[in-house]
């Protein structure tokens, strides 16, 4: 089989972040400059009934826009087009679970997916693209999505306590100073509002 046919849908890379629980995965086309077309997969995941079909077992906790550098703006999947390049967020099942294991599971799940309107395409796992040491979460996700995961992982902890925790702020926002800047824009009422589904 020729290489392109082996990855007709595209490739996936997964990486560790400074937030130990969170692994980010990105799907891309062959030349690495454009996002892969995964809209049917995203729609199926968003519409899946919790636990009642294969889609809900895809090892995805969230689907978020990929951050475009320091701009805190979504990266475009195709330059000049309005489509966001997507990051897949997975919460590790255990600390031993590697980005390689997670990426391979996602590639297999996305490759197996088809609908009457969408013929299955093969996605190939390209590798673990983690930095050493792993980078803060805000290198990959927008500030609002970092806040959502901060709240989710530290559910029940007050904003004031988090703002005193330099290590946690650095894991999510790169530095305590940047973390305090971002969180100072979040009201107490907003902090206490749950922004996700269990």
pLDDT in tens, 42-91: 998 888 765 556 776 788 999 999 999 889 999 998 888 888 999 999 99
The percent of residues in the chain predicted with pLDDT above 70, rounded, is 92
Per-residue model confidence (pLDDT) at position 32: 76
Gap between the Cα atoms of 102 and 38, Å rounded: 17
Comparing 133-147, 150-164, 182-196, the range with the smallest average pLDDT is 182-196
The better pLDDT of the pair 54, 144 is held by 144
Tell me the whole-structure pTM to 2 decimals. Answer: 0.89
CB contact set of 194 (below 8 Å; sequence gap of 6+): 151, 155
Strands 123-128 and 10-16: parallel
CA 103 to chain centre: 12
Q: What is the pLDDT of residue 2?
A: 39
Task: Kindly write down the DSSP assignment for every residue of 39-105, as one continuous string.
Answer: HHHHHHHHH--TTTSGGGGSS-SEEEEBB-GGG-SBPBSSTTSSPBPEEEEEE-SSTT--HHHHHHH
Task: Give dist(CA 55, CA 45) in Å, integer.
Answer: 6
For position 1, what pLDDT does the model report?
34
Contact partners, residue 27, CB within 8 Å, separation at least 6? 9, 10, 11, 12, 35, 36, 38, 86, 88, 110, 123
Q: What are phi and psi of 35, to 5 degrees?
A: -70, 150
Whole-Å CA distances, 149 to 21, 120, 134, 174: 10, 31, 17, 15
In whole angstroms, what is the distance from residue 141 CA to residue 15 CA?
Answer: 13
Q: Any residues with CB less than 8 A from the CB of 103 and at least 6 apart, and which?
A: 12, 13, 14, 25, 125, 127, 128
């Amino acid at each position: 089989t020729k290489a392109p046919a082996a990855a007709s849908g595209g490739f996936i890379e997964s990486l560790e972040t400074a937030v130990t629980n969170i692994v980010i995965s990105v799907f891309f086309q062959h030349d690495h400059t454009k996002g892969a077309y995964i809209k049917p997969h995203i729609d199926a995941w968003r519409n899946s009934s919790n636990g009642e079909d294969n889609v809900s077992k895809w090892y995805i906790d969230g689907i978020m826009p990929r951050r475009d550098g320091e701009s805190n703006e979504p990266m475009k999947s195709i330059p000049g087009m309005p489509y966001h390049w997507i990051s897949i967020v997975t919460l590790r099942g255990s600390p031993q679970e590697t980005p390689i294991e997670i990426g391979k599971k996602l590639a297999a799940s996305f490759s197996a997916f088809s609908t009457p309107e969408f013929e299955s395409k093969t996605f190939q796992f390209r590798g673990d693209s983690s930095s050493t040491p792993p980078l803060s979460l805000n290198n990959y996700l927008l500030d609002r999505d970092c806040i959502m995961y901060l709240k989710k992982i530290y559910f029940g902890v007050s904003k004031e306590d988090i703002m005193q925790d330099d290590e946690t702020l650095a894991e999510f926002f790169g530095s305590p100073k940047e973390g305090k800047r971002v969180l100072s824009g979040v009201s107490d009422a907003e902090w206490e509002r749950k922004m996700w589904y269990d």
